[in-house]
Structure formats: structure tokens, C-alpha cells
């Protein structure tokens, strides 16, 4: 696919503050006149939101790890062709809450399926369309999970309920992903107060989009 837009993803463990900062960042970039669309994974469009309901349903305890990885990749494929690629083709900035790196860290590393194996199924799903910039929200998983527990309004999904050792592995998985993609990934210290995290994310985007 030929594209002239710019693809930004936000990644990190549970409770890192991704979604909160995502909304602030979108508002700040729109204010700057950036032609932007916002979206999330799994989800973003009708079919992928339906797949999200299946994956994250806490009652689906018996879901096999490979089934999980394939469902994320299937949701990603439909999201890509229906929403992300058309927006990039039109020259827009796409801001997406989670994308392929979540699959590499959660399914590839933490579930033990293998980062290379999960990368292969995702390459089948997305071809060459990788993020241009990824903001990685770095936080101790225990602090992230504590934030979620304090946020009483948030529903707890099937992956939130995994053990602390699973969430620690997710963080190790992200460190592996960072080693693979140092050029597009920027580490944001997500343990800082919210205003500081928002400013770091905004500065990182401005630094690569020149303005
Ligand atoms: N820098 C921060 N300091 C303290 N609390 C924060 C900070 N950023 C976000 N929070 C709070 O932490 C909770 C989780 O934030 P948020 O939902 O944005 O995280 P997330 O990374 O999107 O989590 P998940 O991936 O699990 O959906 C919210 O209650 C939010 O208000
Ligand atoms: C895209 C993607 C997501 N996940 C996990 C990460 C979270 O536990 C949920 C999504 O919930 P959120 O509140 O929207 O962050 O799904 C994953 O394991 N693999 C993926 O590819």
C-alpha cells in the first residue's frame, strides 16, 4: 500500500495511562490543526469490536493461546483494511491505542507462543503497514494494576484477571520488542504525574512530525 499519512501507536501494560493520555494527545494535536483519526485495538470498527467482545469476555476462560493470537490478528486485519489504511492513504495521522506490539508482548512473550511466531501471523494480517512511531508507556505492572483497581468504573476483562507474573512477563515482552524496533519506539515514563506524561507524549510526537 502506498501511504503518505503517519501512523502512531500507544503501547504498554495495563493501567499505564495509555487511554487517558491518548484522549489528551488527540485533543492537543487536533487543536494544532493536525488531520487526525483516533482508533483502538482490539476494535476500532464494527467487526473488530465484535471480536474484542469474544476475546476479552471473562467467561471465555477456556480460550486457547493460539486462538487468542489469531483472533487479535483477525481483528487487526479488518481494522487495517477498513479504517487505518484508507486514512493513511488520505494523508491523515492515525493515532491508535495498542497495535501489533501488544500481540508480540502479550501473546508472543507472556503466553509463550514466541515473538517470531506471532510476528509471522501478524505479517500475514498487516503486510508492510507498521507504525511510524510507537509511544511505549513504561510502568511497573503492580502500579498499573493498582491504578486499575482504584478506577472502579472500569470493567475488568479476561486479560486483566491474569496473575501478576503474567503481567510481569508482558513487561519483559515489551523490553524484547523495544530491542527489535528501537528506531520507531520512544519510551515514556508513565509513572510520572499525568500532566508530565501528557507533555512527554506530545513532545515525542512533535519531535518526529516536525511541528
Ligand atoms: N500518570 C498517572 N498517574 C496516576 N494515575 C493515572 C495516570 N495516568 C492514568 N492514570 C489513571 O490510571 C487509571 C488507568 O488509566 P488508563 O485507563 O488510561 O490506562 P491504560 O493504560 O489505558 O490501561 P488498559 O490498557 O488496562 O486499558 C485511570 O484511572 C487513570 O485516571
Ligand atoms: C491489541 C492487543 C491487546 N491485547 C490485550 C491487552 C489488554 O489486556 C486487552 C485490551 O484492553 P484495553 O483496555 O483496550 O487495553 O487486550 C493483547 O493481548 N494483544 C493484542 O494484540
**Global ipTM:** 0.98
Nearest ligand 2 atom to alpha carbon 154: 13
3 state SS of 40: strand
Say which residues have a Cβ less than 8 Å from residue 167's Cβ, sequence separation at least 6: 13, 14, 110, 141, 144, 145
Say which residues have a Cβ less than 8 Å from residue 120's Cβ, sequence separation at least 6: none
pLDDT, tens only, 68-117: 999 999 999 999 999 999 999 999 999 999 999 999 999 999 999 999 99
Residue 20 CA, ligand 1 centroid: distance in Å: 6
Ligand 1 pocket (Cβ < 6 Å) reads 12, 14-20, 147-148, 151, 193-194, 197
pLDDT, tens only, 13-41: 999 999 999 999 999 999 999 999 999 99
Residue 78 CA, ligand 2 centroid: distance in Å: 16
How far is residue 96's CA from residue 82's CA, in Å, rounded to a whole number? 14
Binding residues for ATP: 12-19
138-158 burial: b if 16+ Cβ within 10 Å, else e: bbebeebbebeeeeeeeeeeb
What is residue 154's predicted lDDT score, i.e. its pLDDT? 78
Mutate which of 58, 96, 103, 147 to test ligand 1's pocket (most atoms within 8 Å of Cβ)?
A: 147
pLDDT, tens only, 123-137: 999 999 999 999 999
The reply to whether the predicted model has a pTM over 0.90 is: yes
Residue 183 CA, ligand 2 centroid: distance in Å: 23
What is residue 156's predicted lDDT score, i.e. its pLDDT? 81
Amino acid at each position: 500500500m502506498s501511504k503518505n499519512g503517519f501512523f502512531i501507536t500507544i503501547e504498554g501494560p495495563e493501567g499505564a495511562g495509555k487511554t487517558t493520555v491518548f484522549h489528551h494527545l488527540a485533543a492537543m494535536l487536533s487543536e494544532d490543526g493536525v488531520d487526525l483519526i483516533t482508533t483502538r485495538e482490539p476494535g476500532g470498527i464494527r467487526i473488530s469490536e465484535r471480536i474484542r467482545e469474544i476475546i476479552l469476555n471473562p467467561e471465555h476462560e477456556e480460550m486457547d493461546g493460539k486462538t487468542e493470537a489469531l483472533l487479535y490478528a483477525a481483528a487487526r486485519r479488518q481494522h487495517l483494511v477498513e479504517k487505518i489504511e484508507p486514512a493513511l492513504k488520505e494523508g491523515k495521522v492515525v493515532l491508535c491505542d495498542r497495535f501489533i506490539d501488544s500481540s508480540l508482548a502479550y501473546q508472543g512473550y507472556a503466553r509463550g507462543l514466541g515473538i517470531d511466531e506471532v510476528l509471522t501471523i501478524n505479517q500475514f494480517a498487516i503486510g508492510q503497514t507498521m507504525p511510524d512511531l510507537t509511544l511505549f508507556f513504561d510502568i511497573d505492572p503492580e502500579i498499573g494494576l493498582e491504578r486499575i483497581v482504584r478506577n472502579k468504573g472500569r470493567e475488568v476483562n479476561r486479560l486483566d484477571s491474569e496473575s501478576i507474573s503474567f503481567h510481569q512477563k508482558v513487561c519483559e515482552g515489551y523490553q524484547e520488542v523495544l530491542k527489535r524496533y528501537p528506531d520507531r519506539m520512544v519510551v515514556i515514563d508513565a509513572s510520572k504525574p499525568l500532566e508530565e506524561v501528557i507533555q512527554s507524549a506530545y513532545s515525542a510526537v512533535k519531535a518526529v512530525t516536525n511541528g
